[in-house]
Every structure is written in structure tokens, then in C-alpha cells.
């Protein structure tokens, strides 16, 4: 019996200790790192509500602003998601809203509601690299990106601003506006803290930075972020306020009914 204890118990203890230990670079592939990063950045909590301010700033410092409410719901393990984005301002687009049905394995479904025409219109779906409302962020940056769209390698581990990070290089499988992308991903919180996009001529294209990271309801979240276009000098600053996770939004909110008539409980 003693020999059993001598052999088995340390083995069990070692297994438990290994499974509880933080993952290390040697343990995870670049794909696994990016997968966990997407889960933390785009899938945190089962659902989310946030009031978001976006500033679009051109090279001369002229500012345009977008104020919106973003709602998100994850649909089980399929990876499908629903997004609802309502614009509070500026006045010219107040009441405009977007609905996105996001699928990891196929093109998204997207609708826009134009309040002055009371018109719900589907938007062509093959434009995830298009600018989101004129900002430096793309639709893909706002809703989730697909793991299958890129190949990637783990370049190195390092520290960034006092945080341990993986540095991952990703390349799009089909031609895109960027040829490769370097991501600095927090090794413990799994959030992307910085990204650099490079164009086909190997010139720096865009830079994303996580300017403020906070813990909200047990989830680590990037609450202030900037995307800067290094070639045009244009940049977009985004502040997430009133971020809530696990808020219990029902799936029927993400339908034409509420696209036409913003749900007062959530859009405020």
C-alpha cells in the first residue's frame, strides 16, 4: 500500500499541478494562442452590453465622433454570435442601427436600418475588411475575425509595458489590404495589447494599441483602444463605457423588430 502511495499520489499531484499551471509558450501553438485571444477579446462573457464612443481624427486633428451602444450574444459552442449596434449620434445618423449575425465558418449576415426611410436593408456580406463607419477599424475588428482566414507562427515571447506577451505573426490566406500582422497577446489575460499591420510592400500600414485594460465582472477587457493608419495619418480612438458581461440579452433582440425599434432596456 505504501508503495502505491509513493508512486501514485505524486503522479496525481503532478498531473493536478500541471493542469493548474499557466500555459507556457512551449505548450501552445500559435493557432491555440490566437484562438484563446479571440475568445477573450470577442467572446468574453456569454453576452455583453457597452456604450461606446468613437473619435475619428484626421491628420490635421479634425475630429468626427460616433456614439453607439453595442450588444452581443454568443450562441452556444458553435461560435455563432449576434451583434446589435445602435448609433446615438451624430444627429445625421441618429437611430441608424446594424445587425450582424456572425458565423465562424461562413460569411456573416448583416442588416442596416435607415430610420428616415424606415428601411431595413441587407448589406453585401463580402466586405469584412471594409471600414466600419469611416473609422480605421474594419467590420472584422469590431465583430469577430475568423480563425481560418489566416495562417500564423509564434515569433517570440517578450514583455510589453510590463506584461508578458506572445508575439504572433499572422498572414491572410487570401489577398487582403495587409500582407502580415504582428500581434502582442497577453500571456495571462489573452488580450491583444498591440498589433502592427504591414502592407504588400512591407510598409507599416496600421497599428492597434490597447490603451486601457480593466477587469469587469471577472473578465479582462480592453476599454480604450486606438487604431492608427500610419500611411494616411488618420486614427480612431474608441472608449468602451458601461461595459457589462453576462447581462441576459435574449436572442430575439437580434431581429428585424428591434433593428427598427431599439430595445429601450438595452439601448440607453
**Residue 166 neighbours by CB under 8 Å, 6+ apart:** 25, 28, 30, 33, 154, 157, 183, 184, 185, 187
The residue (of 100 and 198) whose beta carbon lies closer to another protein is 100
6 contacts 13 by C-beta, under 8 angstroms = no
49 contacts 69 by C-beta, under 8 angstroms = yes
Q: Which residues bind another protein (CB under 8 A)?
A: 56, 58, 62, 64-65, 89-92, 94, 101, 107, 109, 114, 116-119, 122-127, 129-131, 133-136, 177, 234, 252, 255-257, 261, 263-265, 268
| DSSP 3-state of 181 | strand
Residue 138, beta-bridge partner list:
131
The CB-of-140 to another protein minimum distance in angstroms stands at 11
The residue (of 101 and 245) whose beta carbon lies closer to another protein is 101
The separation between the first and the last C-alpha atoms of the chain, rounded to the nearest angstrom, is 66
The CB-of-178 to another protein minimum distance in angstroms stands at 12
The CB-of-129 to another protein minimum distance in angstroms stands at 6
The 3-class secondary structure across 220-238, one letter per residue, is EEEEEEEEEECCCCCEEEE
The CB-of-76 to another protein minimum distance in angstroms stands at 16
The residue (of 37 and 229) whose beta carbon lies closer to another protein is 229
**Residue 158 neighbours by CB under 8 Å, 6+ apart:** 164, 165, 167, 184
The CB-of-103 to another protein minimum distance in angstroms stands at 9
The residue (of 52 and 185) whose beta carbon lies closer to another protein is 52
The residue (of 131 and 179) whose beta carbon lies closer to another protein is 131
The residue (of 203 and 252) whose beta carbon lies closer to another protein is 252
**Residue 28 neighbours by CB under 8 Å, 6+ apart:** 36, 154, 166
The CB-of-139 to another protein minimum distance in angstroms stands at 10
Amino acid at each position: 500500500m505504501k508503495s502505491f502511495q509513493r508512486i501514485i499520489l505524486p503522479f496525481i499531484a503532478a498531473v493536478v499541478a500541471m493542469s493548474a499551471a499557466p500555459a507556457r509558450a512551449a505548450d501552445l501553438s500559435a493557432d491555440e494562442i490566437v484562438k484563446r485571444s479571440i475568445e477573450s477579446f470577442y467572446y468574453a462573457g456569454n453576452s455583453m452590453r457597452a456604450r461606446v464612443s468613437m473619435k475619428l481624427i484626421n491628420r490635421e486633428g479634425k475630429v468626427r465622433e460616433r456614439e453607439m451602444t453595442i450588444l452581443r450574444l454568443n450562441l452556444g459552442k458553435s461560435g455563432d454570435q449576434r451583434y446589435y449596434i445602435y448609433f446615438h449620434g451624430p444627429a445625421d445618423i441618429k437611430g441608424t442601427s446594424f445587425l450582424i449575425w456572425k458565423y465562424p465558418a461562413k460569411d456573416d449576415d448583416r442588416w442596416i436600418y435607415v430610420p428616415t426611410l424606415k428601411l431595413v436593408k441587407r448589406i453585401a456580406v463580402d466586405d469584412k475588411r471594409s471600414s466600419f463607419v469611416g473609422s480605421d477599424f474594419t467590420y472584422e475588428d469590431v465583430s469577430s475575425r475568423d480563425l481560418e482566414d489566416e495562417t500564423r507562427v509564434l515569433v517570440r515571447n517578450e514583455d510589453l509595458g510590463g506584461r508578458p506577451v506572445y508575439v504572433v505573426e499572422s498572414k491572410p490566406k487570401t489577398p487582403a489590404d495587409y500582407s502580415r500582422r504582428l500581434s502582442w497577446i497577453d500571456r495571462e489575460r489573452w488580450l491583444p495589447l498591440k498589433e502592427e499591420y504591414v502592407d504588400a510592400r512591407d510598409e507599416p500600414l496600421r497599428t492597434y494599441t490597447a490603451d486601457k485594460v480593466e477587469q469587469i465582472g471577472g473578465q479582462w477587457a480592453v476599454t480604450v483602444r486606438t487604431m492608427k493608419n500610419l500611411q494616411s495619418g488618420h486614427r480612431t480612438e474608441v472608449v468602451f463605457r458601461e461595459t457589462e458581461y453576462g447581462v441576459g440579452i435574449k436572442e430575439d433582440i437580434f431581429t428585424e423588430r428591434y433593428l427598427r425599434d431599439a430595445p429601450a432596456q438595452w439601448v440607453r
